[in-house]
Amino acid sequence: MSQQRALAHARVRPTGLGCMNVTHGYSSFPSRDDAVALFRAALDSGVDHFDTATLYGHGASEELLGEALGNRRDEIFLASKCGLRRNERGETVIDGEPASIKRQAEASLRRLGTETIDLYYLHRLDRKIPIEESVGALGELVSEGKIRSIGLSEVSVATLQRAETVHHVAAVQNEYSLATRNPELGMIEACRANGTAFVAFSPLSRALLAGTLERPWELPESDIRSFMPRFTSENYPQNLRLVDALRPVAEAVGISLAQLALAWVHAQGEHVLSIPGTAKRAHLLENSGADDVVLDAETVAACSAIIDQTTVHGARYTEGQLSSVDSEVFAG
C-alpha cells in the first residue's frame, strides 16, 4: 500500500499527475487518442490526483481528461485552475476578476464532464484585483457546490495570509524541486502551520532532474524551455553535471534519478505532494514509483548538498516570466 497524504478533504498518493505536458508549454505533444490513453493508463496504475487548468491547450487538457475519466470520475481527486487564460487574440492573460472566475469555472466543469471540481486554484495572482475579491468568488463557488476547495498558485506567504481572511486555502501550488528552492523562503512552513497542503509543480525541473533531456536550446521556439535561462547552451551542460553527481546517490538507494528527485520533495514535509507531468507512459509509471520511496536523512542531505539555488546555473524564469508570479525569490 503506497503512502497517503492529506489534500483538502481527501487523502491521496504523494505523486499526482500534472496534465499540462500533453497540450501546453512543451513540444512533441501526443495525439488526442494517445493523450486520452495516457490518462487512462494513469488511472489504471492507481494515480489518484490529476491536476489540469483552463490555460493548458486553451481548455484542451481539461477536455482530454474529461474524456479519459468517463464514468471513473469518482476514482480520483480532480484539481484544475482559473485566472490564467487566453483572450480572443490568443494572448495569455491573468484574469482574477470575480465574474470571470465564475465563467471559467463553469467552462471547466463542462470540459471535465463533472458537477464538482475537488480543488480549484487561482492560477496566478491578478495584481489588478485584490486577492480577497478573487478568493471571495472562489468561496461562492464552494457554497454553490461547484468546487470543494480553494487553492492558490505561485503566490507569496503574504498573499496566502490575506486570502485566509476570506476563506481557508486548502492548497498552495508553487514550483519546487532540488533546483528551485524558493518555497523554502517561508511558504512550506507557512502551509504546514496553516493546515494547507503544499503541491510542488515541476518537481523534476522540467526534465532536468530526470537526466533525460538533451540540448534543450535546440527545442522548438514554442517550447518554453528553449528560452528559459536554466536551459541555455551555456547553463544547461553545467546543470547536467550536477545531475550526474546525483546518480551515485540514486544507485545507492536502488531507484532512478526521477524517483530520487520526487522522493526528496516528499521528504520536505508530510504536507508536501508533487505533480510531475509527462506525455510518456514509461515516465508516468516511473514517477509513480516514487510513492513507495522513503529517503533517510543522510540521503536527503546528500541530495540537498549537490543541487540547490547556489549551485544551479541560470534563473528558473526570464524577467518577463518572473513578472507574472507573486512567490518569493532569492536575493541577487
The residue count for the chain = 332
Q: What is the largest CA-CA distance in the chain?
A: 53
Q: Give the three cell numbers for residue 274.
A: 508533487
User: Are the C-beta atoms of residues 307 and 300 closer than 8 Å to each other?
Assistant: no
Q: Give the three cell numbers for residue 184.
A: 523554502
Q: Pick the closest to residue 291 from 273, 303, 315 (CA basis).
A: 273
Q: What sign does the dihedral 153-157-162-165 (CA atoms) show?
A: positive
Catalytic residues: 56
Stretch (H or E) spanning 36 = helix 32-45
How far is it, in rounded angstroms, from Cα 172 to Cα 144?
22
- Write the CA distances from 289 to 45, 203, 223, 248, 300, integer angstroms: 10, 14, 27, 19, 17
Stretch (H or E) spanning 94 = strand 92-94
How far is it, in rounded angstroms, from Cα 159 to Cα 11?
26
User: Are the C-beta atoms of residues 138 and 125 closer than 8 Å to each other?
Assistant: no
| 3-state SS, residue 7 | strand
Q: Pick the closest to residue 284 from 8, 101, 87, 68 (CA basis).
A: 68
